[in-house]
Amino acid sequence: MPLVPTASIVDAARDARVGAAAFNVIHLETAEALVTAAERTRLPLILQISENCVRYHGSLRPLTKATLALAEESTARIAVHLDHLTDTELVHQGVAAGAGSVMVDASALPYEQNVATTAALTAWCHERDVYVEAELGEVGGKDGVHAPGARTDPGEALAFVRATGVDALAVAVGSSHAMRERTAELDKDLIAALRAALPVPLVLHGSSGVPDDELRRAIAAGMTKINISTHLVSVFTRSIRQTLDGDPALVDSRKYVKPAREAVAQEAARLLEVLNTPAAAPALRRTEVIAGG
């Protein structure tokens, strides 16, 4: 199937008040697992490649091209997005490689510089029909710039969106990057206020630390794009540990990576169902939905 624009996935999810799933690619095996999950559930998925991932691999183009190829050969509706790009050159490289959307992350800069940098790159991307996400103030965690208690002010967010022209905005509502336990409680009242104030979809970063029911409630309150990385990375790593612990003599990496890939596919499929099930309704497996009509 041809690559799907990120805008079409996010806008459709916003209209339907469900979540637009955005799961991070770490290497080819996770990309394969995530595509498998989208195919099994027949639900749309945004594959994300972060700047940290690019740095790990040494360059942007090889993994991005491989991910694009997987998306284009899949029967599922898949978009490819570049996440947390702080380097202007990587934005240019990503667009040239074929990514349909980017997150311009100038959030560590002072506000006026964040606005100027984001506006300039957004204009450049829009000239090339590329969708742009940005962040106002850094979401909690990782670099310690903000505590998990950081919150986005709706008025400031509206001014930022108007000044930059971005298509989606990542906001701070109680989540934190790189959480290993799913215990975060989100500010649903603030999410509702941001949804009412902003003309663009809201993005939740740090969703790995948010439990299923809380994710559903956040979506019901107005959150749309849901980014998940650490949780799925943990599933992959846990599977490999279990396989190697069970057979310390194992040396063929395919024999421990394959079950890890399958474990991620299963969990990603489950999360896709969670994000596409309204908070007021019981969770349904995709087979039940198909059987019912």
- Cα distance between residue 187 and residue 172, in whole Å: 9
- Residue 144 makes CB contacts below 8 A (sequence gap 6+) with none
Partners of 45 in beta bridges: 78
With vertex at residue 274, the alpha carbon angle to CA 180 and CA 277, rounded to the nearest 5 degrees, is 150
* Tokens describing residue 72: 């284009």
The verdict on whether 83 is a catalytic residue reads yes
C-beta atoms surrounding 141 within 10 Å: 20
- Cα distance between residue 31 and residue 264, in whole Å: 10
CA 258 to chain centre: 23
- Which residue is catalytic, options 11, 15, 83, 153? 83
C-beta atoms surrounding 43 within 10 Å: 21
Residues with a known catalytic role: 83
